[in-house]
Structure 1
């Protein structure tokens, strides 16, 4: 090729290269200007599809700009993030919002197996999870120094060592599963008007459902190995559930609107009939259950009068959804189940010394029938359910109830009966289990004066309650 021919070909090539270089320079310069103005990048990647339309949207939430993986691109994160949502939400839109009676036809609950494939690699974490499972399954035997009655977590949450429940503790769909619930913490508790984390929630169950004040050492310490283990187990149960999604079984559905029978009209005498027909075969006509199988529902071995199950509508919701065991929704009628709950919570049980301090600002709700301020607000000088049983001549202790004790006509006890007289007071339902345990955090002086008793309880338990406080607003047992 001659020198003239080479020059002819070289000129177009140089022109093409120069044009490409100039175009690249222009694009980079333009991108810099657009990025400075907050408009976005141009080029092969184009505008980001997920970016907000205006820069103002970025300032409304946590959407700080982030450099995209593409060359020179700028990706803007969403200005708002979704909060907690229900999963299986359609199952909450049916008649039974907590656990739909036909849920088994739509979903299959698969209990998680505990093995090397599901446990963390860290041996210390894995050991805590295993220990936490043992504590949940058989709490009263594993932690007798912290449990003042005959209950274990499995009594409400299923599984464990109970021969009458299925699956690993907290995974029994017929009870109150704990699967997925760890995602809901920390949570707000209305009873003490504060936020609480998961350990504080568990400690609240010890204080109330497990009647820890009646045990030798009272409520376990926040940083104890036991609390770490139980928290670890609940977190492990939560692994694999959708992030920021609440399982549809997380909250107990209470009666609302026309379903809710006013407290003064609940009929515990009629509830006694229903109890003997549907509940006594497991829990006994005396309410003391069957050791190792079914828990006591009242008396010294049961939850105390500050527990969530002691609130009438809360316990009614649990009974309706989960009882009799394996045959939930047997009580389809809200009036029936509230009468049963009224009968169960008309009986004597351990008194929680710090109970009068609950709902300090707003006062206990109407369903809190063991609370003195509720009783006074409703026009009673004692638990209204207790008063009705006493008027009917029926026992409120662990004496066995028989059909012969129940009046033939129970309709009278649909009425408030506020003005009828019986020999009793707010303390009528109290069982004190605190005098002889040597537990400073649970001392309950034997004074009958309410003010003196409350002051003693508040002073003695101040250090404990400042660190925890269980509520039971969202769960039945706590």
Structure 2
């Protein structure tokens, strides 16, 4: 009897230790409490690795100048437009529920449609779709810098676990079918003052290239294969982050129906063809 009691106590001790370890793991996963606290990359010590991180931050925030279609070095004109990465990945990938980079490095490679997707694949997906351009060479300094920046911004985040705030904040289903005509009115009231009546955005003052506010359609915008050209993605992004004065996904400026309606309006507008559509067009000619 005494032996059974001792064995039971040992079992309870092991279980308790396991629970404490598991709880400790979750506590560690949540530390620091704010994964999205701003980090100044230019306060890092001067090392080759930190210079690569700094260049990665510049590529995200100054994309048009460095690798856009108007880049000063013609050999680096990989993007087909003058958008900046930070115009979709807000605050240089450091804003919750605005397609942040915090868990990105630790989440890849991942399985997508029964295929292994690497982080370089994902970056080049953005280059060919959102940036309407061509892939970055995997061995290029530009690719290495983007990877270094994403690794830095997610430093300490759990391996293979996406922390809260990654991706986009889920938007509730529309109470009524999304309507482009209603969306046009929402756009005129809440969006046109920044993005322009014709979705053309606002260009930076010369000689600076790129856009102060990105275009939402037309030749200078993302193409038809970009995630933001999909209704559900656009509605979720708009609901959590737009108009730009919206600071928290949990306190949106637009209603659910308004977000779906304006997304329906924006995604219905003309934009460059994505890679698959371009290939199909060439094949048919």
Please give the range of the TM-score, normalised by the shorter of the 2 chains.
0.7 to 0.9
Q: 1:326: Cα distance to partner?
A: 2.4
Structure 1 residue 187 corresponds to structure 2 residue 110:
yes
Aligned residue for 1:157? Answer: 89
Q: Which runs of 5+ in 1 are unaligned?
A: 1-45, 53-76, 89-105, 160-168, 213-217, 356-431, 433-443, 454-478
Structure 1 residue 321 corresponds to structure 2 residue 248:
no
Alignment partners' CA distance in 1, 2:200 and 2:125: 23
Query: Is the Cα contact below 8 Å between 2:61 and 2:84 reproduced in 1?
Result: yes
Q: Which has the higher contact order (CA 8 A, sep 6+)?
A: 2
Aligned residue for 1:285? Answer: 197
Query: Is the Cα contact below 8 Å between 2:97 and 2:169 reproduced in 1?
Result: no
Query: Is the Cα contact below 8 Å between 1:181 and 1:247 reproduced in 2?
Result: no
Query: Is the Cα contact below 8 Å between 1:85 and 1:245 reproduced in 2?
Result: no
Alignment TM-score, normalising by the size of structure 2 = 0.76
Alignment partners' CA distance in 2, 1:194 and 1:244: 17
| Per-residue deviation, residues 103-148 of structure 1 (Å, max 9, x unmatched) | xxx96952122256x56x8x32222111111111111220131110
Query: Is the Cα contact below 8 Å between 1:203 and 1:222 reproduced in 2?
Result: no
What RMSD, in angstroms, separates the aligned Cα atoms of the two structures? 3.3
Alignment partners' CA distance in 2, 1:326 and 1:174: 15
Alignment partners' CA distance in 2, 1:158 and 1:47: 50
Structure 1 residue 267 corresponds to structure 2 residue 179:
yes
Larger radius of gyration: 1
Q: Which runs of 5+ in 2 are unaligned?
A: 1-9, 69-76, 205-211
Q: 1:335: Cα distance to partner?
A: 1.9
Structure 1 residue 140 corresponds to structure 2 residue 67:
no
Structure 1 residue 207 corresponds to structure 2 residue 128:
yes
Query: Is the Cα contact below 8 Å between 2:57 and 2:146 reproduced in 1?
Result: yes
Alignment partners' CA distance in 1, 2:11 and 2:189: 69
| Per-residue deviation, residues 139-169 of structure 1 (Å, max 9, x unmatched) | 122013111012110101223xxxxxxxxx2
| Per-residue deviation, residues 392-425 of structure 1 (Å, max 9, x unmatched) | xxxxxxxxxxxxxxxxxxxxxxxxxxxxxxxxxx
Query: Is the Cα contact below 8 Å between 1:150 and 1:296 reproduced in 2?
Result: no
**One of 214, 229, 242 as aligned partner of 2:145:** 229
* SS at 1:195 equivalent: strand
Q: Counting helix residues as a fraction of each chain, which structure ranks higher?
A: 2
Q: 1:347: Cα distance to partner?
A: 1.0
The number of residues matched between the two structures is: 250
Distance 1:238 1:107, change over 3 A: closer
| Per-residue deviation, residues 375-400 of structure 1 (Å, max 9, x unmatched) | xxxxxxxxxxxxxxxxxxxxxxxxxx
Alignment TM-score, normalising by the size of structure 1 = 0.47
Alignment partners' CA distance in 2, 1:243 and 1:205: 23
Query: Is the Cα contact below 8 Å between 1:274 and 1:336 reproduced in 2?
Result: yes
Structure 1 residue 297 corresponds to structure 2 residue 216:
yes
Alignment partners' CA distance in 2, 1:344 and 1:271: 8
Query: Is the Cα contact below 8 Å between 1:261 and 1:335 reproduced in 2?
Result: yes
Structure 1 residue 309 corresponds to structure 2 residue 228:
yes
